Amino acid sequence: MAHKTVLGLFISAALVGSIEAVVAAPPQVTADRNMVSLVVEDQTLRVSLADAVLTLESPHGGAIVGPALQLGKSWIRPSRAESKPRISKSSDRVGVEITYPVPEQRRFTVKLEAYAGIPAVFVTSRLEVLADPRAQYYFWGTNFSPSHQVSPGQRGFERIDFNGDAKAWNTIPWNRWWFLGSERGGLAVLPTNCGGRSPGKQGGMSLNALPRSQLLAPGDSLDARFGLAGAKNSEAVEKLWAAVQARDIPTVRPWIHDDLPQDSYGKPAPKWLRDAEICNFYYRPAAHWTDEVVQKSLQRFPVIVGSTPDKAALEKCHKAGIRVLHYVMYNCLLDTEMQVREGGKVYSEWSEAGDCESRDLKHHPDWVCIDAQGNIQKDAWGQEHHHPGLLNTCLHQKGLRDAAVRHVRLLMEMGFDGVFIDLAGPTVECYGPKFGKHKHDCPKKSNTEAWDDVMRAVYDAVKQYGDDRIVMQNTCTGIMPSHWAYCDAQLIEAYPYNADWKDLTAPWPELWWNGNRHSQAVAHGKIPAIMPYFEQLAAHNTSRSAPISLAYARLFGFLWADGFTLQDIPENHDRADSLYRLRLGHPTSALQWSGDVLSRSFERGTVTLDPLAGAVLPSAPHDAKQ
């Protein structure tokens, strides 16, 4: 027994010694006035305090990686860090967080992390807006010029050789990991969104934020997250990915948006809208709203948005069980005299909108927005589409706010079921007081903040006619979580298909991000909506794209519309009719993953969505009704 005990102790001691021998050394961090350095195993990453540029060094390759932030039509890097780096340490992890100022009242934060036993550094960057909401875009670009890419596929490792043509961009689709090889060595990237390689033999690699662009309110952010390392080959990257998964490192968890807005959502949308599933847009003069159009086309939808229908058209729709929202827009209005004088026509959407004479800018020069040079601000869209009299407005003017509310009340008294507010996002600034053109009631407010006040007044006016009346907004650049308190629904237009594209406008990580981001709004009874456009897609392509967009909407609780663009494609009427009539009912399960396939059960069937293969929807029952 004594010999066995001694032998057992000897074996235990040997095992402990062996374990200690393979315990990974903790990562190290050092800092001086210009640089912070992280070292983990054979990887070294340095970040400049001057401009947030990263320098990676390893035995298998290196790269210089820098952020490219959009500023007007140019690209910039952040200014010098505004404070000392914040360093955190534990027994097996180090972290560094650095904040940099950015022009136009923005802030850029870089967070670096390294873990013992994992030969890579993990990067999280965050671009925040500190003042007015605005659209943002940025990416990380490198001097590393890969000749090929290897990623995991359904049949093992899959290799793509990049085109070195001087004009050809190479998209790098999202995957769990990329091995990017070149004559100078290899780079391991663990991305959370897609990337690319710029043209030419020496084209550099880029990594996109998630999402690539976004309308940001103050305090919100556009994030880019990725893991980075030099690597010998694709087998080494697969091994690295397995270690990252085992450790569950949050930086590279795919498709996660962990900053869901916690704003006040206000009242939930009425039940009829929460149950609608689908809607559509019919922008035609009142004479086009015939009995035949209502019965054969519009009646397939529980709600229609229209720009010019009159009371007779509204009554036809109500008799057919269709609710109707009226299109409104107040941050640009028409000066009809200027429109005609400069060669334009007074279009039907204006002349049939109701009470249009009282909002005609020919009577209200003080409502016109003035630019930074003291000139009248003409609407950019109007200039492109031959409407020279369409002018941006100064939303500070009480007369304009009162006219908007008066117009909405007129529409509600006619019996409309709500309004659709176009261009509900940030608007152009007005400098009228600077040039003595007019005064602003609250000079400290921006024109965008004044526009928000108008939209709040419109929402209150609509709800005075009953909680079953609704307000839908279209910012044209995304959904504004801060607007939920004064609207029932918000539309994402040209998403996830656009008339100018033949494939998804957003890669799968961005689709998931968007659905996840707005899940709290859905839980609070608010209705995000998407409207894909299919004009450029051939009929056979819509057999994949149309079900994908509708499946995506239903999986996440979004409303779906297409502006009848699916129906307008030749030889596509049957497919359009089938999808237009499809009603799935309420969900009976949560979202469920099976590998890369996302599914959800509903009262009338199960929806599945495979980002690579497409979507499967239940067949529309022949007697489907609104």
What CATH number is attached to the domain comprising 95? Answer: 2.70.98.90
Residues 6+ apart with CB under 8 A from 381: 387, 390
Query: Which residues are CB-contacts of 457 (< 8 A; sequence separation ≥ 6)?
Result: 401, 404, 405
pLDDT at 540: 62
List 588's β-bridge partners, or say none.
none
Using an 8 Å Cβ cutoff, are 400 and 457 in contact?
A: no
Q: What percentage of the chain exceeds 70 in pLDDT? A: 93
Is the pLDDT reported for residue 1 higher than 60? no
Please answer whether residues 269 and 488 qualify as being in contact, where contact means their C-beta atoms are separated by less than 8 angstroms: yes
Q: What pLDDT score was predicted for residue 12?
A: 35
With both helix axes pointing from N to C terminus, report the angle between 508-517 and 539-556 in degrees, rounded to the nearest 10. 30
CB 419 within 8 Å of CB 473: no
Residues 6 or more apart whose CB falls under 8 angstroms from that of 101 comprise 78, 79, 80, 82, 107, 108
φ and ψ at residue 4, rounded to 5 degrees: -65, -40
What's residue 354's pLDDT? 87
pLDDT for res 539:
62
Q: pLDDT digit string (tens) for 372-396?
A: 999 999 999 999 999 999 999 999 9
Q: How far apart are CA 384 and CA 174, in angstroms?
A: 35
Which pLDDT value is given to residue 261? 56
Check whether 370 has a pLDDT greater than 80: yes
As a dihedral over the C-alpha atoms of residue 152, residue 154, residue 158, residue 163, rounded to 10 degrees, the angle is -110
First to last CA, the chain: 83
The answer to the question of residue 355 being in a domain is no
Query: Which residues sit opposite 48 in a β-bridge?
Result: 35
Residue 562: pLDDT over 60: yes
Number of domain units in the chain: 1
Tell whether 517 is covered by a domain.
no
Which residues constitute the domain of residue 114? 25-252
Domain assignment present for residue 490? The answer is no
User: How many other β-carbons are positioned within 10 Å of the β-carbon of residue 59?
Assistant: 11
Verdict on whether the full-model pTM lies above 0.85:
yes
Quote the strand ranges of 270-319, DSSP E: 280-282, 303-306
* Helices and strands per DSSP (H, E), number in the chain: 15, 33
In one letter, which amino acid is 89? K
Q: CA-CA distance, 504 to 515, in Å (whole number)? A: 15
Is 191 exposed, middle or buried, given 0-12, 13-18 or 19+ CB atoms closer than 10 A?
A: buried
By C-alpha distance, which of 38, 76, 56, 77 is closest to 180? 56
Say whether pLDDT at 263 is over 80: no
How many angstroms separate the CA atoms of 113 and 50, rounded? 20
Angle at 267 between CA 264 and CA 269, to 5 degrees: 125
How open is the CA angle 616-620-625, to the nearest 5 degrees?
140
In angstroms, the CA 257 to CA 135 distance is: 18
pLDDT at 23: 63
The answer to the question of residue 323 being in a domain is no
**pLDDT value at residue 182:** 87
pLDDT tens digits for range 519-553: 999 999 999 999 999 876 666 688 889 999 999 99
| Residues 257/510, Cβ–Cβ less than 8 Å | no
Name the least confident of 109-123, 156-170, 555-569: 156-170
CA 591 to chain centre: 20
The answer as to whether 136 is a domain residue is yes
From CA 290, how far away is CA 585, in angstroms rounded?
Answer: 30
Looking at 144-153, 164-173, 581-590, which range is the least confident one? 164-173
Q: Is 216 domain-assigned?
A: yes
Average of per-residue pLDDT across 162-174: 85
* Structure letter (DSSP) for residue 188: E
pLDDT-above-90 percentage for the chain: 74
User: How far is residue 592 from each of residues 151, 506, 508, 512, 556, measured CA to CA in Å?
Assistant: 25, 21, 16, 13, 12
β-sheet bridge partners, residue 205: 197
Positions of E strands within 238-311: 280-282, 303-306
* Residue 271, domain member (yes or no): no
Residue 96 is assigned to a structural domain of this protein: yes
